[in-house]
């Protein structure tokens, strides 16, 4: 076959080695299909610089093919990328002279997945007017796989060709860069209107947002946490930014993240958090990148909206920035300096890592891990990765519980001074000090039912409130015991459809993970905890806007909060085996899985970010096991179940 020059091909992409990356009719073997091809011009960043430059040259010159694109109107899937490789860069090619309407549609849809600055190549498939006004960066539509497209008006139609593109919608990324999972398996549908411009077919009405398959989305975007205050505590707010420079703003990932922080929290988290930055604060005009100096200090120039802030407020602003940026940095970030708008690099304030830790008021590092032993008593243990004699460090927790008192489950407060325990018959919740100096208190809550539909395992939030669910089908509900000492209050859960069987409150106190059973299936949801501060009605605490946290799993059996707002989830996909995975709390993707964790019944992870703590779990045949960082699973004791960290 003879190689064609680039201008003689329809819009599409090809690998730097000249091979096809995607077959036109669903093929995945890299060969030309009967419907033509759309390959990928790809370059891996780990190649040496000289090799990368040569590969880029090949990407521009070795675009060849021997099959033509169809100009008929059959339905045809546009395949998504094969897997996820964030090292791959994708470059599209412009439309060929006299390209058919089908070629223009296919080339444009492919060009949306490219790394072209300003999406310049994609704009070449549009009319001049559409190219000027198209602003796709404000939102992203994420599809399960590729698009199906078919012609609904032929090229001879007086109105011009019209193409319908469809796909299964997974989510959208909104104007605040937050991931919004699609509920109910929505269908994406868009119509592309083509017209003749200078005797060439061009798209006059492009989609309002970028449209990407899930694999392309994961290749192009990455999740990051930006931080806001809820009361005096920092809360992670997860968003997505481009892994490389943003095509429209030309900002690098760090600058994109800072810009997103300044724009304010996501719509979902916004009602319960606040930013210390004055309204309208932005990066100084023209800022495209942020860099570190030799002292690991990040300097951030702001506009005049921040020029007159007080030092305490400025310190909180810098703290938000430090925690937001340090997760992105490969090097250690020790200080953040905010600069005035005058362009003379005059300093607003500086915050160090140690000072920011005090301002952030993060959850304290746990001293112990806890579990229930085979005699139904609360036990604590102190383990580290070098401990050989692990069983010798387990000890019964002191409390005023009478001798012979057996418990079904327990939770320990973040300060490790109190425990909330549910009696063995699951009817009564007690809040007791972790000492023997005080008397046994009366029950804080008595449930309506008993085994197997009694009270769930409790959970503490950072404010000292205890949360528990009554699983009795006739009286099911979520309850909160204010400060672990007040009268139990029933909490309204908006949109709840089913019965809560397990719960965990995040250490920041603004999110709650709920396992909800309905029709024999258990689903994991995340809800936002709203507290009407200053309204004098503390009983009006509620849970709002439930959203799926593990839509990839057919069933979830256990969960625990983990560092940086993630969840450690035990469950299985449809047809799969039970396993433990770290999930992003917005339900967007799997963040990682635990090795060899196929039989876990219960799991506990620490939310402490200052030191890596082992994951502790319960297996029916092995008892309590733990997974130290970088090591393998080890049995701690066969005499135990239901492990928990404080919280």
Q: Examine the fold and report which residue of 338, 360, 382 is the final residue of a domain before the chain moves on.
A: 360
Together in a domain, 185 and 290: no
For residues 366 and 368, what is the distance between their CA atoms, to the nearest angstrom?
A: 6
**Predicted confidence band at 88 (pLDDT cuts at 50, 70, 90)?**
low
Over residues 493-513, the pLDDT tens digits come to 999 999 999 999 999 899 999
Lowest mean pLDDT among 174-183, 471-480, 616-625: 174-183
188, 168 in Cβ contact below 8 A?
Answer: yes
Percentage of the chain lying above the pLDDT 70 cut: 82
- Averaged pLDDT, 48-63: 32
383, 626 in Cβ contact below 8 A?
Answer: yes
318 lies in a domain? Answer: yes
**Residue 616: predicted pLDDT:** 93
Together in a domain, 122 and 214: yes
For residues 495 and 556, what is the distance between their CA atoms, to the nearest angstrom?
A: 19
Mean pLDDT of the chain: 82
- Averaged pLDDT, 316-335: 89
Together in a domain, 409 and 507: yes
For residues 484 and 525, what is the distance between their CA atoms, to the nearest angstrom?
A: 24
Together in a domain, 493 and 636: yes
Helix (H, G, I), strand (E, B) or coil at 189: strand
For residues 129 and 206, what is the distance between their CA atoms, to the nearest angstrom?
A: 11
Q: Examine the fold and report which residue of 220, 237, 263 is the final residue of a domain before the chain moves on.
A: 220
Of the candidates 398, 467, 478, 468, the one whose C-alpha atom is nearest the C-alpha of residue 432 is 398
- Averaged pLDDT, 116-139: 89
Residue 72: other Cβ atoms inside 10 A: 11
User: What single DSSP character describes residue 366?
Assistant: P
Has residue 77 got a pLDDT over 90? no
Would you call 628 exposed, middle or buried from its count of C-beta atoms within 10 A (0-12, 13-18, 19+)? middle
Together in a domain, 393 and 347: no
Residue positions counted in the chain: 647
Together in a domain, 416 and 563: yes
* 51-65, 75-89, 433-447 — most confident range: 433-447
Has residue 56 got a pLDDT over 50? no
Helix (H, G, I), strand (E, B) or coil at 559: strand
**Predicted confidence band at 189 (pLDDT cuts at 50, 70, 90)?**
very high
Domain count, the chain: 3
Cis before residue 623, ω within 30 degrees of 0? no
For the chain, how big is the Rg over CA atoms in Å?
28
**Residue 125: predicted pLDDT:** 97
CA dihedral (306, 312, 318, 323) in degrees, to 10, reads -140
pTM: 0.81
Of the candidates 250, 241, 257, 212, the one whose C-alpha atom is nearest the C-alpha of residue 117 is 250
149 lies in a domain? Answer: yes
DSSP secondary structure string for all residues of 105-159: HHHHHHHTTS--GGGHHHHTTB-HHHHHH--GGG-EEEESS-EEEEEEE-TTSTT
For residues 353 and 351, what is the distance between their CA atoms, to the nearest angstrom?
A: 7
**What are the angstrom distances between the C-alpha of 21 and each of 16, 62, 190, 411?**
10, 13, 25, 52
**What are the angstrom distances between the C-alpha of 425 and each of 428, 452, 515?**
8, 9, 21
Over residues 365-388, the pLDDT tens digits come to 899 999 999 999 999 988 554 444
Query: Between these two residues, 62 and 150, which has the higher pLDDT value?
Result: 150
474 lies in a domain? Answer: yes
* H or E segment to which residue 529 belongs: strand 521-530
Q: Supply the range of the domain harboring residue 490.
A: 369-644
Together in a domain, 414 and 543: yes
Lowest mean pLDDT among 267-281, 587-601, 619-633: 587-601
- Averaged pLDDT, 279-294: 88
Instruction: Spell out the long-range contacts of 216-221 with Cβ–Cβ below 8 A and sequence spacing 24 or more.
Output: 216/80, 216/81, 216/113, 217/140, 217/142, 218/84, 218/86, 218/589, 219/81, 219/84, 219/85, 219/86, 219/88, 219/90, 219/243, 220/113, 220/115, 221/140, 221/173
Together in a domain, 232 and 209: no
Residue 573: other Cβ atoms inside 10 A: 15
Has residue 24 got a pLDDT over 80? no
565 lies in a domain? Answer: yes
Has residue 137 got a pLDDT over 80? no
Has residue 190 got a pLDDT over 80? yes
Together in a domain, 129 and 164: yes
Which two three-digit tokens encode residue 55? 């590969």
**Residue 7: predicted pLDDT:** 32
Q: Which residues pair with 163 in a beta bridge?
A: 151, 192
555 lies in a domain? Answer: yes
**Predicted confidence band at 42 (pLDDT cuts at 50, 70, 90)?**
very low
Residue 389: other Cβ atoms inside 10 A: 6
**Residue 380: predicted pLDDT:** 94
338, 356 in Cβ contact below 8 A?
Answer: no
Residue 390: other Cβ atoms inside 10 A: 17
343 lies in a domain? Answer: yes
Q: Examine the fold and report which residue of 336, 360, 384 is the final residue of a domain before the chain moves on.
A: 360
- Averaged pLDDT, 507-529: 93
**Residue 523: predicted pLDDT:** 92
**Residue 79: predicted pLDDT:** 43
CA dihedral (408, 414, 416, 420) in degrees, to 10, reads -30
Query: Between these two residues, 34 and 603, which has the higher pLDDT value?
Result: 603
Together in a domain, 42 and 135: yes
For residues 470 and 502, what is the distance between their CA atoms, to the nearest angstrom?
A: 10
Has residue 540 got a pLDDT over 60? yes
For residues 170 and 178, what is the distance between their CA atoms, to the nearest angstrom?
A: 14
CA 310 to centroid of chain Cα atoms: 33
Percentage of the chain lying above the pLDDT 90 cut: 53
**Residue 406: predicted pLDDT:** 96
Q: Name every residue whose Cβ is closer than 8 Å to that of residue 489 and which is 6 or more positions away in sequence.
A: 479, 480, 481, 482, 538, 539, 541
Together in a domain, 307 and 346: yes
519 lies in a domain? Answer: yes
Has residue 157 got a pLDDT over 70? yes
Together in a domain, 182 and 268: no
Which two three-digit tokens encode residue 47? 């190649």
**Residue 87: predicted pLDDT:** 53
1 lies in a domain? Answer: no
- CATH code of the domain in which 606 resides: 2.120.10.30
Over residues 255-280, the pLDDT tens digits come to 999 999 999 999 999 999 999 999 99
Of the candidates 444, 446, 472, 470, the one whose C-alpha atom is nearest the C-alpha of residue 457 is 470
Which two three-digit tokens encode residue 18? 């000249």
């Amino acid at each position: 076959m003879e190689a064609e020059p680039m201008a003689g091909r329809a819009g599409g992409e090809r690998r730097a080695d000249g091979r096809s990356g995607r077959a036109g009719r669903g093929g995945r073997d890299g060969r030309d299909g009967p419907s033509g091809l759309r390959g990928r011009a790809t370059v891996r960043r780990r190649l040496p610089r000289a090799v990368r430059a040569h590969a880029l040259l090949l990407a521009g010159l070795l675009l060849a093919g021997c099959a033509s694109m169809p100009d008929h109107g059959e339905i045809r899937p546009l395949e998504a990328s094969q897997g996820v490789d964030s090292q791959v860069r994708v470059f599209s090619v412009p439309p060929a002279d006299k390209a058919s309407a089908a070629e223009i549609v296919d080339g444009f849809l492919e060009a949306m997945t490219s790394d072209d600055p300003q999406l310049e190549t994609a704009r070449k498939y549009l009319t001049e007017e559409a190219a000027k006004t198209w602003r796709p960066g404000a939102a992203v539509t994420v599809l399960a796989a590729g698009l199906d497209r078919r012609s609904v008006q032929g090229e001879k139609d007086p109105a011009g060709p019209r193409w319908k593109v469809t796909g299964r919608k997974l989510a959208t990324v909104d104007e605040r860069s937050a991931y919004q999972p699609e509920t109910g398996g929505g269908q994406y549908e868009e119509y592309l209107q083509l017209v003749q411009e200078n005797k060439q077919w061009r798209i006059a009405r492009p989609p309002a947002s970028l449209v990407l398959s899930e694999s392309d989305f994961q290749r192009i975007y990455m999740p990051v946490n930006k931080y806001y205050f809820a009361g005096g505590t920092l809360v992670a707010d997860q968003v997505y930014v481009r892994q490389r420079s943003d095509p429209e703003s030309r900002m690098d990932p760090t600058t994109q993240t800072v810009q997103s922080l300044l724009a304010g929290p996501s719509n979902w988290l916004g009602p319960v958090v606040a930013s210390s930055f004055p309204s309208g604060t932005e990066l100084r005009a023209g800022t495209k990148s942020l860099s570190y100096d030799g002292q690991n200090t990040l300097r951030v120039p702001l506009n005049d909206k921040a020029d007159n802030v007080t030092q305490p407020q400025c310190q909180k602003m810098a703290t938000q920035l430090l925690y937001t940026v340090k997760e992105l940095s490969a090097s250690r970030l020790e200080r953040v300096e905010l600069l005035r708008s005058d362009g003379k690099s005059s300093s607003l304030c500086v915050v160090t890592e140690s000072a920011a830790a005090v301002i952030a008021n993060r959850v304290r590092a746990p001293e112990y891990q806890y579990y229930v032993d085979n005699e139904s008593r609360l036990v604590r243990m102190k383990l580290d990765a070098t401990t050989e004699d692990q069983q010798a460090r387990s000890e019964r927790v002191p409390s005023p519980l009478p001798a012979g008192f057996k418990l079904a489950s327990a939770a320990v407060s973040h300060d490790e001074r109190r425990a909330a325990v549910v009696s063995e018959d699951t009817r009564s919740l007690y809040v007791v000090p972790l000492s023997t100096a005080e008397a046994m208190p009366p029950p804080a809550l008595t449930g309506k039912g008993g085994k197997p539909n009694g009270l769930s395992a409790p959970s503490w939030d950072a404010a000292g409130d205890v949360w528990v669910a009554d699983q009795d089908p006739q009286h099911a509900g979520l309850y909160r015991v204010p400060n672990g000492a007040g009268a139990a209050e029933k909490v309204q859960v908006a949109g709840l459809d089913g019965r809560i069987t397990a719960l965990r409150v995040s250490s920041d106190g603004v999110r709650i993970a709920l396992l909800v059973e309905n029709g024999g299936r258990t689903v994991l949801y995340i809800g936002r905890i709203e507290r009407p501060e200053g309204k004098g009605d503390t009983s009006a605490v509620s849970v709002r806007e439930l959203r799926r946290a593990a839509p990839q799993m057919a069933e979830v059996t256990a969960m625990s909060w983990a560092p940086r707002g993630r969840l450690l989830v035990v469950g299985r996909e449809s047809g799969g085996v039970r396993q433990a995975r770290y999930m992003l709390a917005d339900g967007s993707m799997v963040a990682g899985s635990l090795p060899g964790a196929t039989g876990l019944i219960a799991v506990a992870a620490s939310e402490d970010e200052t030191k890596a703590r082992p994951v502790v779990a319960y297996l029916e045949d092995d008892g309590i096991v733990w997974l130290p960082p970088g090591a393998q699973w080890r049995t701690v004791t066969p005499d135990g179940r239901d492990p928990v960290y404080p919280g």
